[in-house]
Amino acid sequence: MPVPVCLSALYFMNLRGEIIMERQYRDDVTRTMAKAFQTEIINGKDRGNVPVVNLGACSFLYRRENNVYLVAVTRQNVNAMLCFTFLNEVVALFKSYFNKVSEKSLKNNFVVIYELLDEICDHGYPQITSAEVLKSYITQKSVRSKEKDGDASYAAMEKAKAVSMQVTGAVQWRAEGLKYKKNEVYLDVVENVSMTMSHTGTVLRASATGVIQMKCFLTGMPELKIGLNDKLEDVGGGQERTAGGGHGRARSKKDIELADLQFHQCVNLSKFTSEKTISFTPPDGEFELMKYRVTEGVSLPFKVMPAVKELGRTRVEYDVKIRSCFAESQQATVLRMRIPTPKHTAKATFKLSGGKAKYVAKNNELVWKLKKFQGRSEYTLHAEVELVSTLNEKKAWVQPPITLDFSVPMFTASGLRIRFLKVWERMGYQSTKWVRYLCNSGRDTKNGSYEIRCQ
């Protein structure tokens, strides 16, 4: 049976494969393993950069962050998913402590990192990784202030006890006894829409992933409830849900279908399954309440119609039309279209109906920027690209897809809306709630991309 361990040692290496820092959690690996990783993977070739590699008796699971490799080493049949989620947590944690994970920042924060590494994992088992919690007792300056107090005072001791209760407790993400003058809740729905469209305009793949980000400044131990306009049908065809968590509101036609939902650990999942309400006691400050994914009925904010013509061997002509499909009252901020060009492009000339365009030689692409894009409007680009004529270009040039970057505030591709947000606390105070929506294009592997194939 697999043991739920995730690693035996964690190395932080620079791009040359030298160890910046290491922490060994189990006895079964040695520093020599790091050498093997260096020669085989960092300096080795042809491994397809697969993030899990088995070298003899050892397995390496690694990811890169800036100029640092985080390498987990193990000799056991560990839970790989656990390992990678842990590595990602480590990166997130370090970022929240010192903004950026890089060789320099690791060296600069040496002591606090070792303190953290000691705390987040024990014997290869992940322990406490939440930044909010750890910051309550591992601080970059705590030691200094304690020393000023002279001997470990009674107050510090009490605090340590409280901390130890809280970090292990059932609501470990929130400390007791918080107080705010003004009770406020900010709720942002941020979506990333990812799509691939063929040159004829057929949508090959479209989906939206969204997160609900919250910022809570609330007194005491409040309980929050949120209602969404989703259908939330039980696949088994079980109980009928009273939409809006007991509001008894008739289901409107605008209800959308969420393919999947994932919640922050503060959300009571059993309650969600049985009653279909999202209720939770939030952490203090900023956190990600839930993630969701929509595959059906995604409304795409932009449609692009490209036409690429190769004129002889030295000229390529681009005609691209882009149309916005959201309501007129809405407006996209900063839209950037990237059109890849052949490697040996010499120069490009443009005719635009709006915005600015230029050829970026470094990335071999034309970039067209529009600062504002009203709903239900249309712009065109006509570009002529001249190529340096090469004598023996054997392989035909294949046009990579056009990609789009944009943000559209107050728009959601999924159509998701927050129906209600209720705050309940024993003291019964009033709270102010702010809700915003934002739709972005996917910009990386995680969030996908908004791409249009040209042929």
Partner 1 sequence: MTSRSDARYFTSQKKGEVAEWRDEIHDPDRDKRKNAVKKAVIAAMTVGKDVSMLFTDVVNCGQTDSVELKKLVYLYLINYAKTQPDLAILAVNTFVKDSQDPNPLIRALAVRTMGCIRVSKIIEYLCDPLHKALLDPYVRKTAAICVAKLYDAGPEMVTEHGFVDHLRELLDDSNPMVVANSVAALAEIREKSCSPDSTVGLDSKVVHKLLAALNECTEWGQVFILDTLSSYVSQGDQGAERVIERVLPRLQHANCAVVLSAVKVIVVQLEDLRDPARVQQLVRKLAPSLVTLLSAEAEIQYVALRNINLIIQKYPDILKSEVKVFFCKYNDPIFVKQEKIETILATERNIDQVLLEFKEYSKEVDVEFVKKAVQAIGRCAISIEQAAERCISVLLELIETKVNYVVQESIVVIKHIFRRYPNQYEGIIECLCDSLDTLDEPEAKSSMIWIIGEYAERIDNAEELLEAFLDTFLEETPEVQLQLLTSTVKLFLKKPATGPQILIQNVLHQATIETDNPDLRDRAFVYWRLLSSDPESAKDVVLAMKPTIRDDLTNSPQTELLQGFLRQLSTLSSIYHKLPPLFVPHDPLRTRLLYGQSGETKNTGLDGSLTNLHENQEIVSGKKANPDPLVDLMDGTNLKEEKLGNSKNADTIQLADPVTNEFRLFYPSESTLLSADKGAGLEISGVIMRGEDNLPCYSLKLTNHTSVHIDHFQFQFNKNSFMLAPCSQLQYSKVAPNESFRCLLRLSFSGSSSEKTASPWLQVAVKSSHQCGEVFYFNDRVPLESVLLPEGRLEYEKFVQLWNCATDEYVAQCQMSELLTPEAVIRAFDSLNVFACSPASFSESDNSSVYLSAKAPGPHEEQWILVKITFTSTVGYLEISSRSFIKGYADMIYNSLRRLLLGL
The one among 45, 99, 151, 179 contacting partner 1 by CB under 8 A: 151
CB of 79 to partner 1, least distance (A): 5
Q: Which of 57, 155, 391, 427 binds partner 1 (CB under 8 A)?
A: 57
Distance between CA atoms of residues 370 and 320, nearest Å? 14
Is 76 near partner 1 (CB under 8 A)?
A: yes
Q: Candidates 53, 256, 320, 370: give the one binding partner 1 (CB under 8 A).
A: 53
264 lies in the site for partner 1, by CB under 8 A: yes
Q: Counting contacts by CB under 8 A, is residue 445 touching partner 1? A: yes
Burial 51-63, CB ≥16 within 10 A → b, else e: eebeeeebbbbbb
Q: How far is the CB of 282 from partner 1 (least distance, A)?
A: 14
DSSP H or E segment with residue 146: helix 142-148
Please choose, from the candidates 59, 82, 116, 85, the residue with its C-alpha nearest in 3D space to the C-alpha of residue 6: 82
Task: Restricting to residues 19-48, name those near partner 1 by CB under 8 A.
Answer: 19-24, 27-33, 36, 40, 47-48
d(CA 254, CA 274): 24
In terms of CB distance, is 288 or 319 closer to partner 1?
Answer: 288
Instruction: Give helix 110-120 / helix 80-98 axis angle, nearest 10°.
Output: 140
Per-residue contact flags (x/-) with partner 1 for residues 101 to 140, judged by CB under 8 A: ---x--xxxxxx-xx--x---xx-xxxxx-------x--x
Q: Which stretch binds partner 1 (CB under 8 A): 84-92, 215-223, 369-377, 404-412?
A: 84-92
**Cα-flanking dihedrals φ and ψ of residue 381, to 5°?**
-130, 135
Q: Does 56 bind partner 1 (CB under 8 A)?
A: yes
Q: How would DSSP label each residue in 376-425?
A: T-EEEEEEEEEE---S---SPP--PPEEEEEEEET--SS---EEEEEEE-
Give residues 304-343 in contact with partner 1 (rule: CB under 8 A): none
Contacts (CB under 8 A) with partner 1, residues 231-250 = 235-236
Binds partner 1 (CB under 8 A): choice among 16, 45, 49, 254? 49
Rounded to whole angstroms, the Cα distance separating 118 from 426 reads 38
Given 100, 182, 205, 356, the residue binding partner 1 (CB under 8 A): 205
The residue (of 282 and 448) whose beta carbon lies closer to partner 1 is 448
The DSSP bridge pattern shows strands 432-441 and 184-197 to be: parallel
Minimum gap (Å) between residue 418 Cβ and partner 1 = 18
Tell me if 427 contacts partner 1 by CB under 8 A: no
Other CB atoms within 10 A of residue 343 CB: 11
Minimum distance, C-beta of residue 166 to partner 1, in the bound complex (Å): 9
Residue ranges in 268-297 that form contacts with partner 1 under rule CB under 8 A: 268-270, 272-273, 288, 290-291, 293, 295
Q: What is the DSSP letter of 317?
A: E
Interacting positions 388-407 with partner 1 (CB under 8 A): 395-396, 398, 400-401, 403
Q: What is the 3-state secondary structure (H, E, C) of 83-119?
A: HHHHHHHHHHHHHHHHCCCCHHHHHHCHHHHHHHHHH
Is residue 385 close enough to count as binding partner 1 by CB under 8 A?
A: no
Q: For the window 343-382, what string marks contact with partner 1 as x by the rule CB under 8 A?
A: ----------------------------------------
Block residue for tokens 């918080």: 178
> Measured between alpha carbons, how far apart are the two ends of the chain, in Å?
50
The phi-psi region of residue 178 (left if phi > 0; otherwise alpha if psi is between -120 and 50; otherwise beta) is beta
Q: Which segments of 198-301 are extended strands (E)?
A: 203-217, 223-228, 260-263, 278-280, 285-294
Residues 153-182 that bind partner 1 (CB under 8 A): 156-157, 160-161, 163-165, 167-170, 172
- Select from 50-58, 239-247, 327-335, 369-377 the region that touches partner 1 (CB under 8 A): 50-58
**Which amino acid makes up residue 177?**
G
Interface with partner 1 by CB under 8 A: which range of 358-366, 378-386, 414-422, 446-454? 446-454
Q: Which of 147, 176, 317, 393 binds partner 1 (CB under 8 A)?
A: 147
Residue type, 162: A
Cα distances (Å, whole numbers) of residue 31 to 21, 22, 38, 213, 267: 11, 9, 11, 41, 41
Q: How far is the CB of 192 from partner 1 (least distance, A)?
A: 8
Q: How many residues bind partner 1 (CB under 8 A)?
A: 124
